[in-house]
Structures are given as structure tokens and as C-alpha cells.
């Protein structure tokens, strides 16, 4: 099917943006929902609303004055109607072309992680690796595949032999398919076995020399927040000589163990999920750190901060890495307010001379917007400076035109 784009959508595709939203479709030629078998009329252009294809179908993109803009895959259900895979006529968009791109993504990781004592990383970051909607995270001998939207679901069976071969050559034994956000079976498991030996529920991986237990069956994201790897290493370096560190929204304790290994005297981890603390404590032990010398608090972060302030507890290293406050563009003003409230409460328990690491994982909040939620008025103090701005690591690459892919912000104030 050939799909005609609006001028705006066509301009985005030319810049290399990989998404065409449904309202970027002006019409189609070649086939319409009700035109099958009506001879020449089937080739007449049809209105945008009547453009129907099956998820996973290859579509050619065109626009006014541009008979060929590129090729993509149709998604019948997502607000993103087409994900763009290529801007060139050749080669054909088939599983071999996809397998070649995957091989390129995997080969880059071979170089990036060689000799770094790291066994968990993102092997393919979807759009950022030019394989839109396909995310593959490696946890040592297990690879977890996640599909955004429905376009690649019909391709999985054909892609699997290629994946098994390319991943197998790198020591991956089992492949699991992660259910879309929110999906889980009756036992709460979110991972379906698709290749190799049975999937373990938990694995211990290594990250820049640090052991980390990952809950593959029930954990968040594909098991762990691999995108914070370099920032965890930064926290480890910042922790030297600190008396009391505080890790807010601590999940499986990645930043906590980094602070403890880096030399922080006592680390307090706060999360509303007690199961995450159990994982964190096992990770402490895996690294030879006694968790009983540290503190794990199951509480709402805002309640905790209020009580800590009232008690007079102060910290000289604080990490704050909340879940996304802005799931959509519309939610942005409210999200900025929530970040401000959080940062005000955090600043009240930060020692003079302390370091604050504040993170945001929402793509709708830009770095500039986010840094703004750490201004003097919000923090109610004027003794801090922005020491560094960081983002996501190399295994989470993006494209210049794909701003949505640059979601992680990590601001260090001192």
C-alpha cells in the first residue's frame, strides 16, 4: 500500500523522525478498506480515515511532489500509524534487512562493553538503533525482547531464528518476550519464554564491576533500569567521604549499593515497594556489603521527607529518581509542579555542602524545563550550583530528529 502524508508529516520523515501519527496520513492509493476487487477503482486515492492495513504490513510513504519518501510498517492500533524503517528504495524491507540492522546494533555493543565487566545492557534501542519499536535487553545469558505497538508482532516468528543465532553467538542462551506495559499472567509474571532453556525468574548480572540482582519475571521495565548505569557509577564516585546518603525511589537499590560501595557511611533507601527492598538487600550481600548497616524504608517519599525534616535528619548525598510524572504532553504543567514539590522537600533535608542528584525519565520534560524545577526559589536556598548535566548511556542511542528518545536527565547540584 502507498500512503500519502500531510506536508508536516512528510517534513518530519525527511528529517529522519521515525513516527507518522494517524493525523499525518492524508490518504492512500493501492487499496482501501472496502475497495477490494473493484478493479480500477481500487487504485483511486482514498480519504485518510479509510486507510486500513494490517499491523506489520509494509507501506510506502509518499507526499505532494515526492512519489517516494520511504518505507515503514503499519500499526493498526497505535496512535503512531507508521514507523519509518528506511528512506531508500533498496534493499527491500524484509526480515533479512531487519536482521542486518540488528547485527549492526549488536556489533556496536560488542565494542562498547568489551572489557567493562558489564553483562547487562540494551542490545537494541528500537528507533534509536533504526529498528523502530524493537527493544532487546540483555541480562547475561537471557535476552528480553519488548515490542512497542503491534507492528512487529507478526514478524517475531520470522525474526526469531536470526535473533537466536546472532544473540547465541554472543553467549545469550534464552530469549523471553516481555508483555506490553501493565501486562502480566495470573502469577504476576510479565515474561514469556520463546527460545532456549527455561527462563530464570531472577539473575545476578554485573554492571561496571558491581553485582546486581534483577527480577526478570516481575520487575519494572524489562527487569532493571539499565539506562542509569553510568549515573550509578557517578554516584559511586560522589559517595567518597559522605556520612549519610539518601536514595529516593530506590527500587532494586542500584544507586544505594553504588553509594555504599563508594564509601557512604550509611545509606537510606526509600521506596513504596517492599519487594524491591528485598532485592536490594540481596544485591548488597552479593557485593559484600552488610545491608543491616544501612536502612531500607518502605514509605511514600513525600511522607518520608516530611518526617525526616521534622526529625532533623540531614543527608550529604541525595539521589532522587522518581517514576515519570508526565506520561503525555498535556500532563506537563502538573508534572513540573510535582517535580518542584519534590525538590523543595528534598532540599530541606540536604546538608549544606551536600550533593543532590535529581533525575527525570519523562521525554515530555526537556533538560531546560527540568533544571528549572531545581531553581533557587524551589530549593529555598542559594548555595548550590549545577555541577554536571547527564543523560542516558550509549546503549540507549537516539536519532537527531527523534527528541522523544532523549528522555533521561540526571542533574548533579553541589
Residues in touch with ligand SAH (CB under 6 A): 220, 225, 228, 249, 251-252, 254-255, 271-273, 276, 300-301, 321, 323
Residue 254 C-beta: closest distance to ligand SAH, Å: 4
Kindly tell me the number of DSSP H helices and DSSP E strands found in the chain. 10, 21
Q: Which is nearer to ligand SAH, 78 or 360 (CB)?
A: 360
Residue 126 C-beta: closest distance to ligand SAH, Å: 20
Beta bridge partners of 143: 138, 175
Q: Which three cell numbers stand for residue 44?
A: 483511486
Residue 275 C-beta: closest distance to ligand SAH, Å: 9
Q: Please give the span between the terminal C-alpha atoms of the chain, in angstroms, as a whole number.
A: 56
Q: Do the Cβ atoms of 359 and 392 come closer than 8 Å?
A: no
Specify the DSSP element, H or E, that contains 47.
strand 46-47
Residue 253 C-beta: closest distance to ligand SAH, Å: 8
Q: Which is nearer to ligand SAH, 160 or 338 (CB)?
A: 338
Q: Which is nearer to ligand SAH, 102 or 280 (CB)?
A: 280
State the pairing for strand pair 409-413/350-360.
antiparallel
State the pairing for strand pair 174-178/142-147.
parallel
- For the purposes of burial, counting CB atoms within 10 Å of the CB of 94, is it exposed (0-12), middle (13-18) or buried (19 or more)? exposed
Residue 250 C-beta: closest distance to ligand SAH, Å: 6
Q: Do the Cβ atoms of 92 and 188 come closer than 8 Å?
A: no
Q: What share of the chain is helix, strand, coil (3-state, %, to 5)?
A: 35, 30, 40
Check 144, 175, 361, 374 and give the catalytic one.
361
Give the span between the Cα atoms of 145 and 133, in whole angstroms: 10
Give the span between the Cα atoms of 186 and 367, in whole angstroms: 39
Give the span between the Cα atoms of 12 and 307, in whole angstroms: 49
Three-class secondary structure of residue 42 per DSSP: helix
Residue 147 C-beta: closest distance to ligand SAH, Å: 22
Has 361 been annotated as catalytic?
yes
Residue 359 to residues 346, 356, 414, Cα–Cα distance (Å): 13, 10, 15
Q: Which is nearer to ligand SAH, 139 or 255 (CB)?
A: 255
The residues carrying an active-site annotation are: 361
Amino acid at each position: 500500500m502507498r500512503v500519502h502524508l500531510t506536508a508536516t508529516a512528510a517534513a518530519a520523515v525527511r528529517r529522519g523522525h521515525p513516527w507518522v501519527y494517524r493525523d499525518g496520513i492524508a490518504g492512500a492509493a493501492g487499496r482501501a478498506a472496502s475497495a477490494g476487487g473493484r478493479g480500477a477503482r481500487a487504485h483511486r486515492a482514498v480519504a485518510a480515515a479509510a486507510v486500513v492495513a494490517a499491523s506489520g504490513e509494509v507501506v510506502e510513504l509518499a507526499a505532494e511532489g515526492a512519489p517516494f519518501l520511504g518505507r515503514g510498517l503499519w500499526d493498526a492500533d497505535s496512535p503512531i500509524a507508521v514507523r519509518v524503517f528506511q528512506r531508500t528504495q533498496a534493499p527491500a524491507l524484509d526480515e533479512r534487512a531487519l536482521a542486518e540492522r540488528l547485527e549492526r546494533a549488536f556489533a556496536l555493543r560488542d565494542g562498547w562493553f568489551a572489557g567493562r565487566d558489564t553483562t547487562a545492557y540494551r542490545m537494541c534501542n528500537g528507533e534509536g538503533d533504526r529498528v523502530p519499536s524493537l527493544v532487546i535487553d540483555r541480562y547475561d545469558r537471557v535476552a528480553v525482547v519488548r515490542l512497542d505497538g503491534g507492528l512487529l508482532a507478526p514478524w517475531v516468528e520470522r525474526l526469531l531464528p536470526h535473533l537466536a543465532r546472532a544473540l547465541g553467538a554472543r553467549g545469550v542462551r534464552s530469549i523471553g518476550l516481555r508483555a506490553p506495559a501493565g501486562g502480566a499472567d495470573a502469577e504476576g509474571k510479565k515474561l514469556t519464554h520463546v527460545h532456549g532453556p527455561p527462563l530464570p525468574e531472577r539473575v545476578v548480572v554485573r554492571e561496571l564491576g558491581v553485582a546486581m540482582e534483577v527480577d526478570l519475571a516481575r520487575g519494572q521495565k524489562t527487569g532493571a533500569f539499565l539506562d542509569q548505569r553510568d549515573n550509578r557509577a557517578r554516584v559511586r564516585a560522589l559517595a567518597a567521604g559522605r556520612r549519610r546518603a539518601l536514595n529516593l525511589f530506590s527500587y532494586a537499590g542500584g544507586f544505594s549499593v553504588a553509594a555504599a560501595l563508594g564509601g557512604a557511611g550509611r545509606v537510606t533507601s526509600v521506596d513504596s515497594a517492599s519487594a524491591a527492598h528485598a532485592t536490594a538487600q540481596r544485591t548488597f550481600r552479593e557485593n559484600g556489603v552488610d545491608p543491616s548497616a544501612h536502612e531500607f524504608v518502605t514509605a511514600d517519599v513525600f511522607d518520608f521527607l516530611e518526617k525526616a525534616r521534622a526529625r532533623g535528619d540531614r543527608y550529604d548525598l541525595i539521589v532522587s529518581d522518581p517514576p515519570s510524572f508526565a506520561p503525555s504532553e498535556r500532563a506537563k504543567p502538573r508534572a513540573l509542579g510535582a517535580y518542584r514539590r519534590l525538590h523543595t522537600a528534598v532540599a530541606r533535608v540536604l546538608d549544606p555542602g551536600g550533593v543532590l542528584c535529581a533525575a527525570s525519565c519523562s521525554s515530555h520534560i526537556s533538560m531546560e524545563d527540568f533544571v528549572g524545577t531545581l531553581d533557587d526559589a524551589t530549593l529555598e536556598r542559594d548555595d548550590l550550583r549545577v555541577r554536571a548535566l547527564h543523560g542516558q548511556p550509549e546503549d540507549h542511542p537516539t536519532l537527531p530528529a527523534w527528541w522523544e528518545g532523549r528522555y533521561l536527565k540526571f542533574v548533579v547540584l553541589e
